[in-house]
Amino acid sequence: MAHVLIVEARFYTHLNDLLLEGARAAIEAAGHTHETVTVPGALEVPGTIALAAERYDAFVGLGVVIRGETYHFEIVAGESARGIMALTMDGLAIGNGILTVENEDQALVRARPDQKDKGGEAAKAALAMLDLKSRFG
């Protein structure tokens, strides 16, 4: 049984609730346990995963970044993804469920467990990477 850390950037509460619901359901359906920690924003997700790397078997990063009027969207979306990818390349099993969308309607469709269920998909990706890690490790 794996112990998974869900790291959520809780900026949009109602959207994060949906992502969390999907992630938790997927982890529990696979027979694993989980804990959740909340961070201020998507940029803090990779750093938190790095801090907890020795304590958990797999990680799920969750959050929502909605395009605004400034360049900030590109920085947050790109750098959070880059940080997660770097940790994955270092051998951590991570599912990236940080949505990068144009508007709230797109986020709702992607976050809802009865629609695109990106939280659940991120959890399943983390567990698939954990399986590969044990296979190749």
pLDDT 10s digits, 22-57: 999 999 999 999 999 999 999 999 999 999 999 999
Per DSSP, the three-state class of 64 is strand
How far apart CA 63 and CA 122 sit, in angstroms, is 11
pLDDT tens digits along 49-89: 999 999 999 999 999 999 988 888 899 999 999 999 999 99
How far apart CA 28 and CA 1 sit, in angstroms, is 10
pLDDT at 72: 87
- Known binding site: residues? 11, 42-44, 64-66, 69-70, 96, 110
Our measurement of the distance from residue 68's CA atom to the centroid of its chain's CA atoms, rounded to an integer in Å, reads 21
User: 72 catalytic, yes or no?
Assistant: yes
Long-range contacts of 51-54 (CB under 8 A, 24+ apart): 52/5, 52/7, 53/87, 53/92
pLDDT at 84: 98
Domains plus CATH for the chain?
A: 3-136 (3.40.50.960)
* Straight-line distance from the first to the last Cα atom of the chain, in angstroms, rounded to the nearest whole number: 17
The residue assigned the tokens 């803090």 is 44
How far apart CA 10 and CA 7 sit, in angstroms, is 9
Q: What is the largest CA-CA distance in the chain?
A: 45
- Known binding site for 5-amino-6-(D-ribitylamino)uracil: residues? 11, 42-44, 64-66, 96
Per DSSP, the three-state class of 62 is strand
pLDDT at 78: 96
pLDDT at 68: 86
